[in-house]
Amino acid sequence: MTALSISRVPSRQLPVVATFALFVLTFGAGSVSFENFASGQVFANLFIDNAHLILLAVGMTFVILTGGIDLSVGSVLALSTMIAAAGVKAGWPVPLVIVLVLLTGSVLGLLMGLMIHKFDVQPFIVTLAGMFLARGACFLISVESISIKDKAYRALGMERIALGGGVSITNNVLIAVVVLVAAMYVLHLTRFGRTVYALGGSEPSARLMGLKVGFTKVGVYVVSGFCSSLAGLVFSFYTASGYGLHAVGMELEAIAAVVIGGTLLAGGSGYVLGSVVGALVLGTIQTIISFDGTLNSWWTKIVIGALLLAFIVLHRLIVRRTAT
């Protein structure tokens, strides 16, 4: 990028622009390398296969914007698939199961948020405990994987919505898009959202300004818990099963998506749309590796690590530029 274009883009948005460029680049690289890659359906599949990751990344963005972190998201996702599968198997009505799952995730988030705020314990440790608790709770329900056989529930996951041109999406994609739009609205057009940014900028300043620091601090963990349980529902639609070993290490992917998406881990700066593009970049890399067929899946981890590094160094440079 030339010096001219850098000066034109506000440095706050530069990482997001870079993420978007990276997405175009990786998708373009895939299209050039493989036949049939540059099709609408492959693009739509990115959303279908990563709807849960997009949801996790949206929730994680709220938390990271306040300068916190949520390590429990992958486990809460797994617990949600487990509750959903066990509930459906026990013959409970599907709407009840869905409400129960969303409630569990939100309450877990609420409890973690309260511990962080009321007892002044580091988010890292509290959500690490939450991660263990949720993962262990999965195995309390069942050590084995539970498949979902209920027709109505499966239909929710299988149903295809045609977009025209032979491209179709699932309900999961709709859910992810609705949540994304809602998150953008909340972050940019509500008092809660402004407080989230203020909190990440400087907590003492936010407090002195009379903002609702406590409410917001707890709130972001509720949002993340809700998003994680919704991601769990989406994942159970997608895989039609509940299992305690679903989404092991997914919290790292979500954090990676947020960082690649241009959000500063110190908080206060970043966009939820960037995180979603970050998640899509991770999805594209996986698609390329599966298209190639000869590359092993561990290359995904190495590439994600390298991308993380590149973006962290980019952040560093931008912060240094604005500081001087």
Partner 1 sequence: MNRLWWPLGALAALLVLNVLVTPSFFSLRMQDGHLYGSVIDILKNGAPTLLIALGMTLVIATRGIDLSVGAVVAIAAAVTCEYIAGSGDPGSASTALVGMAISLGLCLVLGLWNGFLVAVLRIQPIVATLVLMTAGRGIAMLITDGQIITVNNETYRAVGAGFVLLPLAILISVAVLALVAVTTRKTALGLLIESVGVNPEASRLAGVQSRTIIWTVYVFAALCAGVAGLMISSNVSAADANNAGLWIEMDAILAVVIGGTSLAGGRYSLTGTLLGALVIQTLTTTVYTVGIAPEVTLVFKAVVVIVVILFQSPKVQSLFRRRRPAPPVAVAMTPQEVAR
Cβ proximity to partner 1: between 48 and 131 the closer is: 131
Q: Are 148 and 126 in contact (CB under 8 A)?
A: no
Residues of the shown chain interacting with partner 1 in the complex, contacts defined by CB under 8 A:
69, 115, 118-122, 124-126, 128-133, 135-137, 139-140, 143, 244, 252, 255-256, 259, 265-266, 296, 298-302, 304-306, 308-309, 312-313, 316
Shortest CB 317 distance to partner 1, Å: 10
Shortest spacing between CB 210 and partner 1, in angstroms = 20
How many CB atoms lie under 10 A from the CB of residue 54? 29
What lies within 8 Å, CB to CB, of 94 at 6+ separation is 88, 150, 152, 153, 156
Q: How far is the CB of 299 from partner 1 (least distance, A)?
A: 7
Minimum CB distance to partner 1 smaller for 159 or for 292: 292
74 vs 193 by CB, closer to partner 1: 74
For residues 246 and 144, what is the distance between their CA atoms, to the nearest angstrom? 11
Q: Which residues contact 139 (CB under 8 A, 6 or more apart)?
A: 244
Measured from the CB atom, the residue of 92 and 299 that comes closer to partner 1 is: 299
Task: Compare residues 113 and 244 and give the one whose CB is closer to partner 1.
Answer: 244
Question: Which among 219, 214, 233 is positioned nearest to 187, based on CA atoms?
Answer: 219
Q: What distances in angstroms separate CA 299 from CA 196, 247, 275, one per listed residue? A: 36, 18, 22
Shortest distance in whole angstroms from residue 90 CB to partner 1: 20
What is the C-alpha separation between 122 and 15, in angstroms, rounded? Answer: 27
- Least Å distance, CB 119 to partner 1, is 4
The CA distance from 229 to 101, in Å, is 6
